[in-house]
Copies of this chain bind each other. A is one copy, B any other.
Amino acid sequence: MAVTIYDIAREAKVGIGTVSRVLNNSPKVTSETRDRVISVAKRLNYQPHAFAQALARKRSNTLSAIIPFFTNYFFIEVLQGVQETLTSLGFDLIIHGANNQEQLEEYLVRSMRKGRVDGTLIFSLQLPDKFAAEFKEKKLPLVLVDSFHDDFDSIRVDNFEGAKIATEHLISLGHKDIGLINANLKSVPAQERLKSFMQTLQRHSIPIRDGVINNSSWTKNDGFSREAGYSDMVKFLKSGVKLPSAFFVSSDIQAIGVIEALKELDLHVPEDVAIVSFDNIEISKYFGLTTMSQPMYQMGELAVKKMIQRIDAIDLPVSSVNFTPSLIVRASCGANKNYVFQDSN
């Protein structure tokens, strides 16, 4: 029914091997034969059958990406980098949104299915040990984005450096009483941001009062959500602990909730409290958030490039790259009094 290389071979009066060679730009074909085959293929509107090709080539030209929390801007932007890079290379992208551990494992199993995909990208999720072992043993290409494992390539943001820059920015503005609204410590970025925050304060000999460090107990999205930021701030405000002059908030989305909670008590940002957060998601500019920018698109792009290298040479030494986030100064820290948002931000 559909046109195959056999049809072309018949029409062009050549063998199927020759057709295949022409279609794959093999050099060993005379240009007359080549032209004849090509013109027949065009005329019949031939399209190669993807799976038959994949089966014969042992190469599917598709990758899978496992991401948590579908509706999170961070992933979406990284994903955009992934998708565009992939497309330019002729690859396809299969997407799996994993909302919990079970789903993650289910998707990992799917991705390991022989021949299904050439490689797997994992975003922000901890790779379970048993899968790590299996991927390694079977030599399946795997790259981690915003996550880490000794045995696989990874691309991360330097949370340590980022939290340090953010904290020092507040210090440089004269703040000597700084609090933290953090996500859930189950998440590695939350751990790193906390640690760096505390070390930075210590290094500058700034005391940390009891009760100003707030690690979220939310589990949904590991506490990286507006709701978590909102309720954690409400909790803090009710705790009776004196309000610090500034807060470092572990993500933009939490910061939005934090600001809202403050607003309800008629507390203003940055007049009453300065805020610096982390991520630089698209909407952060609408809120005038001073934040640490992660090069999300580029991370996606690099992830794909690494993956392709890995596919071509599975035994390459493992590499890990860290992007250093950069400070974007807007209004919420008080340093930029006449911030008007601009498209370029």
Are A76 and B83 closer than 8 Å at their CB atoms? Answer: no
- Nearest B residue to A260 via CB reads B341
Q: How far is the CA of A283 from the CA of B51 in the complex (A)?
A: 41
Q: Which residues of chain A from 90 to 117 have a CB within 8 Å of any chain B CB?
A: 92-97, 103, 110, 112-116
- Of chain B, the residue at the smallest CB distance from A90 is B110
Copies in the assembly, this chain: 2
Is A272 engaged at the interface, CB distance under 8 Å to the other chain? no
Does A340 count as interface, using CB distance less than 8 angstroms? yes
CB atoms of B94 and A62 under 8 A apart: yes
Contact mask A274-303 → B, CB, 8 Å, 1/0? 000000001100110000000000000000
**What chain B residues lie within 8 Å of A77 (beta carbons)?**
71
B47 touches A51 (CB 8 A): no
A343 at the interface (CB under 8 A from B): yes
Q: Can you list, as one digit per residue, whether each of A64-103 has a CB less than 8 Å from chain B (1) or not (0)? A: 1000001101001101100110010000111111000001
B71 touches A97 (CB 8 A): no
- Given A47-B112, A55-B51, A70-B83, the answer on whether A95 and B97 have CB atoms closer than 8 Å is no
Question: Lowest 9 CB-CB distances: which A-B pairs, in order?
Answer: A50-B116, A70-B80, A51-B51, A51-B54, A49-B114, A51-B55, A49-B115, A92-B94, A2-B114
* Contact, CB under 8 Å: B92 / A93: no
Contact of A76 among B48, B50, B70 (CB under 8 A): B70
- Complex CA gap A7/B131 in Å reads 24
Q: Which residue of B lies closest to A62 (CB)?
A: B94
In the assembly, what is the distance between CA of A115 and CA of B47, in Å?
Answer: 10
CB neighbours of A62 from chain B (8 A): 94
